[in-house]
Amino acid sequence: MYAAFVQDLYSRRIVGWQVADHLGTDLPLDALEMAIWARGGVVGDLVHHSDRGVQYTSIRYAGRLDQIGAARSVGSKGDSYDNAAAESLNSLYKKELIDFHGDWKGVMDVTMATMEWVAWYNSERLHSYCGNVPPAEYEETFHRSPAGT
C-alpha cells in the first residue's frame, strides 16, 4: 500500500492526498490535483519539494508542475533535509494510523481511514510548528489577520 501527500509547509496542513496499491505517477498526481482543487486552483508561488522517486520525476508529473507554474525542488541523492517535512509527515502517518491499526482489508479500507486521519490531522492534531494549534486553525488565523501577516 502506498500513500502520497501534498502539505502546505506554512501551516503544515495536508491539502492533497491519495492511496493506491501501486507506486505509479498517478498516485502523487492525484494528490497534487486534490491540492490544486483544495486551493481553488490558486497555487501562487508554489515550491514543490520531493524526493527523487520516479513518480515525482516523471515527465507527466513534472509537466503538471510546469503547467501550474510550480518550482520543483528535488533533494539530492541521500539527502533527506530538503524533504524533511514530507519524511516527518509520512512517519506520523505510518505510526499514528497504518501501524497503529494494522489489520487492513484493502485499498478502500486504507483510503477511508486515511480520509479520517487527514481530517483529524488538519483540524485537531496539535502541531509544535504552529504554536501547538492544529494546522487548519493556524492557517485560518493567518488569513484573518490584517494583510495575512
Look at residue 55 and tell me if it is in a domain. no
Asked whether the predicted pLDDT for residue 43 surpasses 60, the reply is yes
Number of domains in the chain: 1
The whole-number pLDDT of residue 85 equals: 82
Look at residue 97 and tell me if it is in a domain. yes
The whole-number pLDDT of residue 142 equals: 86
As given in the structure block, the three cell numbers for residue 131 are 504554536
Q: Are 39 and 23 in contact (CB under 8 A)?
A: no
- Output the pTM of the full model: 0.86
User: When comparing pLDDT for 74 and 26, which is higher?
Assistant: 26
State pLDDT tens for residues 97-127: 999 987 899 999 999 999 999 999 999 999 9
pLDDT band at 61 (very low <50, low <70, confident <90, very high): confident
Q: To which residue does cell 501527500 refer?
A: 5
Look at residue 57 and tell me if it is in a domain. no
Give the structural domain span for 83: 2-42+76-148
State pLDDT tens for residues 63-101: 998 898 888 777 666 666 667 888 888 899 999 999 998
Asked whether the predicted pLDDT for residue 50 surpasses 90, the reply is no
Enter the DSSP assignment of 72: E
E-only strand ranges, the chain:
2-7, 14-20, 47-50, 71-74
The whole-number pLDDT of residue 75 equals: 63
The residues near 52 (Cβ < 8 Å, ≥ 6 apart) are: 74, 75, 77
